[in-house]
Amino acid sequence: MEVIVHKYGGTSVGTPEKIKKVAERIARVKREGYEIVVVVSAMGHTTDELIDLMHKVTDSPDPREYDMLVSTGEQVSAALLAMALQSLGCPAISLTGGQAGVVTEDIYKKARIKEVKLDRLKKELKEDKVVVITGFQGIDSEGNIITIGRGGSDTSAVAIAAALKAQVCDIYTDVDGVYTADPRIVPEARKLKTISYEEMLELASLGAQVLHPRSVECASIYKMVIHLRSSQKEDEGTYIGEAPRLTTFARGKEAGKMEKKEAVRGIALDENIAKIGILKVPDKPGVAAELFGALAKEKINVDMIVQSIHSSGTQADMAFTVDGADLKKALEVTEKAAKKLGAGGVVSDPKVCKVSLVGVGMVSQPGTAAKMFETLAENKINIQMISTSEIKVSCVVAAEAGKRAVQLLHKAFGLDKISQ
Burial of residue 9, with CB atoms counted within 10 A of its CB: 0-12 exposed, 13-18 middle, 19 or more buried: buried
CA 222 remoteness from chain centre: 17
Strand partners, 227: 170, 239
Rg, C-alpha atoms of the chain: 24
Least distance between its own copies and beta carbon 49 (Å): 10
Burial of residue 245, with CB atoms counted within 10 A of its CB: 0-12 exposed, 13-18 middle, 19 or more buried: middle
Question: Judged by CB under 8 A, which of 27, 51, 79, 398 binds its own copies?
Answer: 79
DSSP per residue over 54-108, as a string? HHHH-SS--HHHHHHHHTHHHHHHHHHHHHHHHHTT--EEEE-TTTTTEEE-S-T
Burial of residue 18, with CB atoms counted within 10 A of its CB: 0-12 exposed, 13-18 middle, 19 or more buried: middle
* Rounded-to-integer distance, Cα 36 and Cα 38, Å: 6
What number of residues does the chain have? Answer: 420
DSSP E strand boundaries for 97-203: 102-104, 113-116, 130-134, 137-139, 145-147, 168-173, 194-195
Residue 47 in the binding site for its own copies (CB under 8 A): no
Of the candidate spans 66-74, 190-198, 305-313, 344-352, the one that interacts with its own copies by CB under 8 A turns out to be 66-74
Which residue number, 55 or 284, has a Cβ lying nearer to its own copies?
55
Which residue number, 59 or 234, has a Cβ lying nearer to its own copies?
59
Residue 144 in the binding site for its own copies (CB under 8 A): yes
Of the candidate spans 54-62, 150-158, 247-255, 304-312, the one that interacts with its own copies by CB under 8 A turns out to be 54-62
Which residue number, 15 or 248, has a Cβ lying nearer to its own copies?
15
* Rounded-to-integer distance, Cα 20 and Cα 13, Å: 9
Site track for its own copies across 82-111, x = CB under 8 A = xxx-xx-----xx-x-xx------------
Residue 20 in the binding site for its own copies (CB under 8 A): yes
Question: Judged by CB under 8 A, which of 25, 27, 29, 50 binds its own copies?
Answer: 50
Least distance between its own copies and beta carbon 16 (Å): 4
Q: Is 256 helix (H, G, I), strand (E, B) or coil?
A: helix
Site track for its own copies across 195-234, x = CB under 8 A = ----------------------------------------
Residue 11 in the binding site for its own copies (CB under 8 A): no
Least distance between its own copies and beta carbon 56 (Å): 4
Least distance between its own copies and beta carbon 78 (Å): 7
Which residue number, 65 or 298, has a Cβ lying nearer to its own copies?
65
Q: Give the CA diameter of the chain.
A: 78
Interface residues with its own copies (CB under 8 A) are 16-17, 19-20, 50, 53-54, 56-62, 64-66, 68-69, 71-72, 75-76, 78-80, 82-84, 86-87, 93-94, 96, 98-99, 120, 142-145
